[in-house]
C-alpha cells in the first residue's frame, strides 16, 4: 500500500479473546494505531513532497497517496512504481515453519498496486532482512517469489539480503526475517487510470479475495491465537482447514485478468487494490464525489470467526480487512458483463457491488451493513 494517506454458525473453537477499553478500537488495543501513524507521517511527508522539484527531466505525474506513483519518461510512456511488505503474516509463517508462500504475498501486494495505474507490472526487486541466514528459509521464500513471478509474467531483477541479528527477532530462534518488495511497471501516458474520468452511474465490480490476504494480521493473530502456536493446528470446521493454513493462504494476484481487460480495449475508469483500510481504498480515486455499495458477497468464514471471537464492530472489520473483495474495477455499465466474464475466465468470482454517485462529498456508503466511510474510518450511517 502506498503512503497516505457476521456471526459464526455451527461449532466454534475456544481460541481466545481480547478485552477492549471503551475508547479504543480493536486495532489500537493490539498496538496498531493507524490514525496516529497518519498524523505522525506529516513531518516525513513534508520533506518528501519537496523532492518533487529535483527531477526536471522525469517529473512525477501523481501526488503521493495513490496506489503507485508515475514517472514521466517522455516519448509517451510512464513508469509506475510502488513498494510494500508482507507485514506480520511473516509471524504466521515463522510459527508454522513454512515459508514457501510469503514470496507470493510480496509480489501480490506490490503488483496489485502498480496495476491500479493501468500499468503492466514488469519487474520487482526484493529486500530481505534476516536474523541469521538460513538456507531452507531463503530457498522457500525464493520458491514463492518464482512461482508468482511466473504467474504474473514479471522478472525479479535483483534484491538485497541484510543480516541484522541485533534488529530482527522472530518467533523461532535465528529464523526472524522481514520481506519487502518494490515493483515497477510501464503504461502509455495517455492510458493512465486514476479515476479522473469516473462519471455518476458507472458501476463498481468487486473481484473476490482469496481470504485475509496480507493486511490486519496483527488483529487477527491477537484475537484468534492464545499462548503461542497451539491453536494454529486447530482444524476449524467452518474454514475446512487448520487456522494456520487459513491465515497463511496466499494473497490473490489480479495481474492477468486486469491486463486482459486493458489489452482487449475495455475502457476501465477506476482500479482499486483493496488492502489495508478495506473498501475505503476506493476513495483514493482522483475524483471528488461519492460511491454507493449496495451488494456485498458473503465474506469468507475467517472474517466471521475474527468478528465473533473478538466481538469486533462491523465498522472496524471493514476498515481493517478486505471482507471478501480484493480488487475493484469501475466501468460504464455497458461493459460490466465483460469485466465479470474475464474475471470468471481466470477463476475469480466477480459481482456488481455498487456505483459512482452524483454527489460532492468524498465518501462511500456500504448499504448492506449500514456504514458510511469518510477519510480513514467507517461510521454507522445516519
| C-alpha cell recorded at residue 93 | 509463517
Q: How confident is the model at residue 49 (pLDDT cuts 50, 70, 90)?
A: confident
Query: How much is the pLDDT for 72?
Result: 96
What pLDDT digit, counting tens, does each position of 125-182 carry?
999 999 999 999 999 999 999 988 998 899 999 999 999 999 999 888 889 999 999 9
For a pLDDT cut of 70, what percent of the chain falls above it?
Answer: 88
| Domain residue ranges of the chain, discontinuous segments joined by + | 67-192, 194-382
pLDDT at 5: 36
Domain boundaries 67-192, corresponding CATH code: 3.30.1330.10
pLDDT surpassing 70 at residue 273: yes
Confidence class for position 24, pLDDT limits 50, 70, 90: low
Q: How much of the chain, in percent, has pLDDT values that exceed 90?
A: 75
Of 6 and 359, more confident: 359
- The residue among 199 and 52 whose pLDDT is bigger is 199
Domain 194-382 architecture: Alpha-Beta Complex (3.90)
Amino acid at each position: 500500500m502506498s503512503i497516505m494517506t457476521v456471526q459464526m454458525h455451527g461449532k466454534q473453537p475456544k481460541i481466545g479473546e481480547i478485552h477492549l477499553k471503551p475508547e479504543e478500537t480493536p486495532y489500537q488495543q493490539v498496538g496498531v494505531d493507524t490514525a496516529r501513524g497518519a498524523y505522525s507521517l506529516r513531518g516525513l511527508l513534508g520533506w518528501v513532497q519537496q523532492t518533487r522539484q529535483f527531477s526536471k527531466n522525469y517529473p512525477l505525474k501523481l501526488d503521493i497517496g495513490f496506489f503507485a506513483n508515475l514517472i514521466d519518461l517522455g516519448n509517451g510512456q510512464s513508469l509506475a512504481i510502488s513498494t510494500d511488505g508482507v507485514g506480520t503474516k511473516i509471524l504466521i509463517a515463522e510459527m508454522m515453519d513454512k515459508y514457501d508462500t510469503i514470496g507470493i504475498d510480496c509480489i501480490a501486494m506490490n503488483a496489485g498496486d502498480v496495476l491500479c495505474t493501468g500499468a503492466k507490472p514488469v519487474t520487482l526487486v526484493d529486500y530481505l532482512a534476516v536474523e541469521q541466514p538460513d538456507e531452507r528459509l531463503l530457498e522457500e521464500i525464493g520458491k514463492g517469489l518464482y512461482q508468482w513471478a511466473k504467474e504474473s509474467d514479471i522478472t525479479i531483477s535483483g534484491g538485497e539480503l541484510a543480516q541484522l541479528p541485533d534488529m530482527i527477532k522472530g518467533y523461532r530462534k535465528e529464523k526472524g526475517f522481514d520481506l519487502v518488495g518494490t515493483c515497477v511497471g510501464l503504461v502509455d501516458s495517455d492510458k493512465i487510470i486514476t479515476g479522473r474520468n469516473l462519471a455518476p452511474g458507472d458501476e463498481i465490480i468487486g473481484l473476490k479475495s482469496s481470504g485475509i490476504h496480507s493486511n490486519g494480521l496483527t488483529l487477527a493473530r491477537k484475537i484468534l491465537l492464545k499462548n503461542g502456536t497451539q491453536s494454529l493446528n486447530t482444524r476449524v470446521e467452518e474454514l475446512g482447514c487448520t487456522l494456520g493454513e487459513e491465515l497463511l493462504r496466499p494473497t490473490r494476484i489480479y495481474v492477468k485478468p486486469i491486463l486482459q481487460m486493458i489489452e482487449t480495449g475495455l475502457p476501465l475508469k477506476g482500479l482499486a487494490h483493496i488492502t489495508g483500510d478495506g473498501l475505503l481504498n476506493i476513495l483514493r480515486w482522483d475524483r471528488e464525489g461519492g460511491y454507493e455499495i449496495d451488494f456485498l458477497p458473503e465474506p469468507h468464514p475467517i472474517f466471521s470467526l475474527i468478528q465473533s471471537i473478538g466481538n469486533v464492530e462491523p465498522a472496524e472489520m471493514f476498515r481493517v480487512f478486505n471482507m471478501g473483495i480484493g480488487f475493484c474495477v469501475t466501468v460504464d455499465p455497458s461493459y460490466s458483463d465483460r469485466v465479470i466474464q474475464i474475471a470468471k475466465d481466470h477463476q475469480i468470482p466477480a459481482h456488481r457491488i455498487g456505483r459512482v454517485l452524483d454527489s460532492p462529498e468524498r465518501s462511500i456508503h456500504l448499504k448492506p451493513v449500514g456504514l458510511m466511510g469518510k477519510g480513514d474510518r467507517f461510521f454507522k450511517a445516519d
